[in-house]
Amino acid sequence: MILARELLLGGFRRFPAVVAGDFMLDRYVTGEVSRISPEAPVPVVRVRSERLVAGGAGNVAANLAGLGVRVYAAGSVGDDTEGAALMALPVFAEADTECITPLGPTTVKTRVLGGGRQQMLRLDREQLTEPRGEDIERVVSKIREAASAGSRLVLLSDYGKGFCSPELCRRVISFARSACMQVWVDPKKSDWEPYRGAFAITPNLKELSAAAGRAVANEDGEVAEAASELASRYGIENILATRSEKGATLVSRGGALHIPVWPVEVYDVSGAGDTMIAAAAAFSSAGLPLCDAAKLANAASQIVIGKVGTYPIMADELLSAVAEEGAQSGGKIYSRGDAAELCRRWRANGERIVFTNGCFDILHAGHIDSLTAARALGDRLIVGLNSDASVKRLKGESRPVNGELSRAKVLSALEAVDAVVVFGEDTPAELLSVLRPDVLAKGGDYRPEDVAGREYAGEVVILPLTDGYSTTSVIERISHSK
C-alpha cells in the first residue's frame, strides 16, 4: 500500500483532524495478589505501580497522534488535579487544546490489575455534563479553523458522558458536511438520530444491536443486514462494525466487506474501538479507498489488543504489520501497493501485464467485450476502478449507481480479470506510475498521445467500443421503463 506507507512515514502531517467528545483519564493500578483479606473474602493487591493514560476521546487523539496526525481537541476536562494530569500527558503536547472547556469534574476510570495483566476491578468517577450553547459555537469555530488549515476530518467520540449532546452532534455534522469534511462517529447512543448524515459510524456488536432494536447475531449476513438498515434509516454513508473475534464488517452503498481478524494473543480490548475509528478515519480522509482504510484499521486494532491497558497505535508498528502481512490473501481486489508487488512477481516470470481502467458502474456487454480484448493483449489484466468519490466528480451527483465495493466484486468475478485496484484520483496516472504495465488499453475514440498516464506504460492500445452499449443508455432505459 504505497499511499498508506507514505502517510505512515510522515504524510499524515498534511491532514490534521478534529476530535470532539468525552475526554477522560485512565488510571492503571498494577500489583501482586498473594492473599485474601481477613476483613472480607476479597483479594489483597499489593500495589507495585500506577500509570496514567488518556482515555475516551483522549485515546482517539492519542491514536491519531501515534499515526502522525496533528490533533485539534474539543471537549471538557475538569478544573481539578485529574484534569491537570490528563492535559500534561504527551498526547496533548503538540495538540491544539484551545477548545477544551472546564465543565464539571474530570471523568476518571481506575482499573486494578493483578498479576500484571488480569483486570480485577474498575472504578468510575464521572458526572454527565452537556455543553452550553457558547461551547458548541466554540467547537464549530474550531472545526472551521481546522478546515482552513487543511483538515478533512472530524471525529465524534461519544462515550455517553454528556459532551456529545444531540445539538452538538447536529451542528458539527451539518457544518462539517458543508466544509466537505468527513465526520466519523464512535456511538454510545442507541438512538442514532443525532448522528444523521455522518460519513461513517463505528459501532461494536452491542451498540449495533441497541440501535437496531434487536439482538444482532455475530454472523456476516445479520450484521450486514442490520448495518444496511441503519445506514438507510439515518442517512449514514458507511458503517464499520467491529465484531470481536470475527473481525469487522464494512457496509457501504456497494455492499458489505467482511474483514477477518489477524492471529494475535488478546490481552486487553480496552480502547480497541478508539484505535479502529482513528486509523480508519485518518486513512480514509487522507485519500485511501475506504476498503483499504478499514483493513488497516482492523490490523491496528489487532495490534493494540495484544498490549496491556489502553494503548495507542504507533506508525512504526503498523508499518511493520503491513510489511509482514504482505499482499492480501484471497480474491482479486488489491491495494495499489499490493498490486505493485503482484506486477513485480509477474514481470519476474516473464508475463506481459495489461492495464485498463474505468468506472464500470453497471456492467454490460460492451464492458465485457472491452475487458476480453484487453486481456488478449497480454498474460495478466489489471483493472483500475474509479472510487465512488471520483465517479461522482466525473459523472455527477447521481452516480455511481453501484458503490466501489460492489463494482470491484463484480469485476473480480470475471475470468479475464486478474486484479482490481480502486483509485481515488480523476485519472489513473498516479496508479500507473506505481504499476508500470507493459500495455495500457483504453476504450473509445482517444488518440494514444491523449491517454492519461501513457508515459508509465510500454505502449498504448486503443480498443474499439461495442455499438449500442453505454451505462448512460442503460440507466435511461431503466428510467423510461418505470
Q: Which sequence positions are flagged as catalytic?
A: 274
Count of beta carbons in the 10 Å neighbourhood of residue 112: 19
Write out the three cell numbers for 130.
452537556
Q: Which of 302, 306, 343 is nearest to 322 (CA)?
A: 302
Residue 298 DSSP SS3: helix
Which DSSP state fits 106?
P
Question: What nine digits make up the cell of 9?
Answer: 512515514
Residue type, 435: L
Phi, psi torsion values for 60, nearest 5 degrees: -60, -45
Place of cell 498490549: 307
Q: Which residues contact 277 (CB under 8 A, 6 or more apart)?
A: 60, 155, 157, 184, 186, 202, 240, 297
Instruction: Tell me the CA end-to-end span of the chain in Å, nearest whole number.
Output: 43
Beta bridge partners, 76, equal 101
Helices and strands, number each (H, E), in the chain: 16, 19
Residue 157, SS3 per DSSP:
strand
Contact at 8 Å (CB) between 306 and 289?
Answer: no
